[in-house]
Structure 1
């Protein structure tokens, strides 16, 4: 009975941690100024194009519509925010721009949501980059979902700031299952509820993840499908070789492939999961479901990239004009050091248009801690085989981003297309690795104690730390977005309210709800820790037993 109480409190704690991650992401949706997230103008433009029957032009042949172009001007995107990492004296300042009154903001709808057609085959490589919507270099699935959401919510013809907020909330909903999937995967590979709850809290340690998932971006669907594929790979590597699981895994991967090319780097992870699955099984039992998974993935989304290769001569066409004049070769060391640094800071905290950057000590500390915890897990965890599969996903994405940047560097001397958000599709693998590392360290510390379940108190401790990191990231971003040097807090808050589609009271209520959810989540984790501490050691040992049977989900 006591273990039943611990299980019930575990589920309550997991539900509230998930709710807190979602509330935090929704706060980012309300905090970030419109179009101050990567490519948000183009993401909105492509969603509106499909919402109003504009189709999916070839890469480079889609233009920003008059309505969205007006919205960009009204949002003062061509200004520098106060916290920009480098002052540009020739630029107007966002803090000095006057917000357009709510009632005067442009309504984007049938009359202005579609741009003029570009004749097929037109060379737009010399056009102004601001004219081009490069998102048609990707498959259209996310934008079709976004277009449907606009119609469902009645925002297909609305003020542009309302459309931005509505689509941001869609991405919050798409992100909602990710903490659950992280907990499920971690529970499967470690057998520990403690590690599962720590893994569910990991997104709060990554303010940049909340910032991106609270914006309008096709990365939201990439992150969801990447997380779903990682969870299903955890099921496979722990013994679930059923063909239905393989078909579902292939379906999730196929949806990812019909969203963005980054999903292709999960294919080797799927193969590794079947090759390393335990307990041992005949080769035919491994190859058949692996073939089913890959066949379903190709049928749903893989064909798009083969079609690109046949039609455009490349897997990933470039839909944006060249923005940089070539410079002299600065050498291999410059390339390596710059790509690693850019990838690291934009993974942990480079808000806005990658221009509000957290201090160097912050992102390097985050990177080192994450790497150390994952290495500890790989070295000392008894489930290292399963962890290898999950950590293969972020490792491949990290390498892919760097390798993809090399040809452009070799050609122009510039390091481009290096952003940490490209790795967020592997957040479940990183969460599982970090949580498993925490579990190893906690168990080593408590090994001499008579109560092995003493380590459960790391759950509320990690949640409090994660909440503090999330709140600090938002405070840092708020100052960078809205507060000019020497300015009082009240003026910055008024500026935020002036630019937002929400009133000051609504914004305060929005964040008050998040605070209440945070308090409830911490209380729930404390109650869970107490319930486990009150259970005989065998109960927690049972909770740490890996769930390898095909019928379990890993969330129990």
Structure 2
């Protein structure tokens, strides 16, 4: 080829199958160069992948799942944003309490007892500022497991006469809570102890996170034509401690992350030439379902529109028609909820519980832009508990710098620029939405509120793909070189994932000067699980890590072997 670098198969004009189970793309001369992306060649079943790919991807998926489970058992109950609210809203649906209008939902008596037994509010030892007037978590004694409150019909629902506070979660649609209620019913945990029910919901969120891994891998492989790129994308979650913290908690953001991951995967297919009508319908269905969880999924629509705008293989009217179908389906499935809000409540998302402006710290106007950037970066990488435990700033700067460099490499170097632009629109749109909302609220309250990195986690899969594209570019798009880089990337991810957990454990359970043993004893006492179960969790996580290491060390040899 005269020394030129290879590009992604879809940029050659050839239509190839680069799904996660496909063989490496053939040279352009060996495939059809027709102009119909939805031809029979595109639509037929994918061929088996290179030897070991599915096993390596499965091993990495299990590692991410194990990482999420560890976060679920390490984070103390209700030491994650709004977790007690999410538990209460799940119980409301599980016990037939419906979905009251915003402001008309109340905490259940069982949840009020649970909050007290979880020692909330209290400050974890890793809090950024010590507050001597607030109870310290490490000074409190946990309620013995067999004495903790069990949920029952008489205490599972609250109302205006129960004397409890307003639960603002009904400002969102109920899909996540209905799913959580289904899990509690299916597992027989509707009448379990509150901490056991909370752990079940945490594990549901871990499952939703794990499902994003093959989607990220598939999108990266589609964009680059490289199975190794798929494995690089698969481990991206381990680099973001805050993602593990939030996805290891009971939180409706988990369903948003999965919905956006699925849309990201399909947008990658669209921009690389898959313009079948069924894809447009599937995108609309996924966006619509996401909109029945949170309004943030609407920020995926620019990604979808630009994906069709930049796709090749169909004239403008046909591509615009597919955008119209996707938007229409999304509106029918879930968009109607937000239209109804505007018509009946006068706002896209009503306020479930108004914030008292007197409790908001005032911020000078000239400091707002820089503080938004600083707080959003901090909260994206590491702001545990209720944004109280901060990852050291050096790591936040390093992570932010790497993301910026990765994005620039993917956008500047030829090979997958259009796809990278499309995918980066999602995290960029989410971040811009958070910044605008914070700026708008500042004009009302004088403070900065709702600057939370979890609101950008819908773009994590897109960032994972762009990371894979950047590494693919840095090895000069060589499959052999990228395969050799996979063990290094996985090793870095495992180190980051483990380091984040060690940091979190100390921040939650070890006061300054205390030994590791004291922290472990405190963790065992507060956990909903008995010590033997916790030991089993640690052993299974270790086995998952060993499996991933073995699979990835073997990957460079298997990646260049002839396909089976």
TM-score (norm 2): 0.89
Cα deviations across residues 65-123 of structure 1 (Å, max 9, x unaligned)? Answer: 1110000000001111111111001011110110101111001121101112479xxxx
- Which residue pairs with 2:544 in the alignment? 517
Distance 1:278 1:93 in 2: 59
- Aligned-residue offset at 1:145: 0.8
Match of 1:371 in 2: 404
| Contact preservation (8 Å) 1:326, 1:411 | no
Match of 2:501 in 1: 474
Distance 1:69 1:329, change over 3 A: closer
Aligned mates of 1:91, 1:326 — CA distance in 2: 16
Q: Is 1:34 paired with 2:61?
A: no
- Partner residue of 2:526? 499
Distance in 1 separating the partners of 2:205 and 2:261: 14
Report how far residue 504 of structure 1 moved: 2.1
**1:221 aligns to 2:255 (yes or no):** yes
Q: Is the 8 Å Cα contact of residues 50 and 561 (structure 2) preserved in structure 1?
A: no
Q: CA offsets per residue over residues 488-507 of structure 1, 9 Å max, x none?
A: 11111011010001122221
Counterpart Cα distance in 2 of 1:439 and 1:77: 46
Deviation readout 1:432-485 (Å, 9 max, x if unpaired): 1111111111228x7xxxxx6233211111111101101100000000000111
1:177 to 186, 189, 211: 211
Q: Distance in 2 between matches of 1:307 and 1:491?
A: 53
Deviations 1:35-55 (A, max 9, x none): 111100100000000111111
Aligned with 1:177: secondary structure?
Answer: helix
Query: What is the deviation of 1:534?
Result: 5.3
1:289 corresponds, among 313, 322, 346, to 322
What's 2:446 paired with? 413
The 1:351–1:327 alpha-carbon spacing in structure 2 relative to 1, beyond 3 Å, is: closer
Q: Give the C-alpha shift of residue 290 in structure 1.
A: 1.5
Paired position in structure 2 for 1:152: 186
Choose which of 38, 46, 51 in structure 1 pairs with 2:94: 51
What displacement does 1:333 show? 3.2
Give the Cα–Cα distance (whole angstroms) in 2 for the partners of residues 331 and 188 of structure 1. 46
What pairs up with 1:358-507 in 2 under 5 angstroms? 358-443=391-476, 453-507=480-534
The more displaced of 69-78 and 406-415 is 406-415
Q: Where does residue 356 of structure 2 map in the other structure?
A: 323
Correspondent of 2:366 among 333, 347, 350: 333
Q: Of 254, 269, 277, which aligns to 2:288?
A: 254
8 Å Cα contact 1:230-1:428 kept in structure 2: yes
Map 1:130-209 onto structure 2 (within 5 A). 131-209=165-243
Q: Please point out which of 104, 109, 121 is paired with 1:78.
A: 121
C-alpha distance in 2, partners of 1:133/1:47?
12
Gaps of 5+ in 2: 1-22, 25-46
Which residue of structure 2 aligns with residue 123 of structure 1?
none
Using the alignment, how far apart are the partners of 1:327 and 1:522 within structure 2?
47
Alpha-carbon separation, structure 1, partners of 2:362 and 2:56: 53
Q: TM-score, normalised by structure 1?
A: 0.90
Change beyond 3 A, Cα 1:87–1:326: closer
Q: Distance in 2 between matches of 1:209 and 1:486?
A: 28
| Deviations 1:485-543, CA, capped at 9 Å, x for gaps | 111111110110100011222212212211111111111011111223556xxx8xxxx
Equivalenced residues, count: 520
Whole-Å separation in 2 of the counterparts to 1:6 and 1:315: 45
CA contact (8 A) 1:200 1:431 kept: yes
Instruction: Return the alpha-carbon distance in structure 1 between the equivalents of residues 279 and 179 of structure 2.
Output: 25
Q: Which residue of 2 aligns with 1:87?
A: 130
Which ranges in structure 1 are unaligned for 5 or more consecutive residues?
120-127, 447-451, 540-555
Q: Tell me how far 1:321 sits from its aligned partner.
A: 2.5
The reply on whether 1:109 has 2:152 as its aligned counterpart is yes
SS of 2:207's partner is: helix
CA–CA separation in structure 2 for the residues paired with 1:381 and 1:193: 19
Displaced runs of 4 or more, over 3 A: 2-6, 326-333
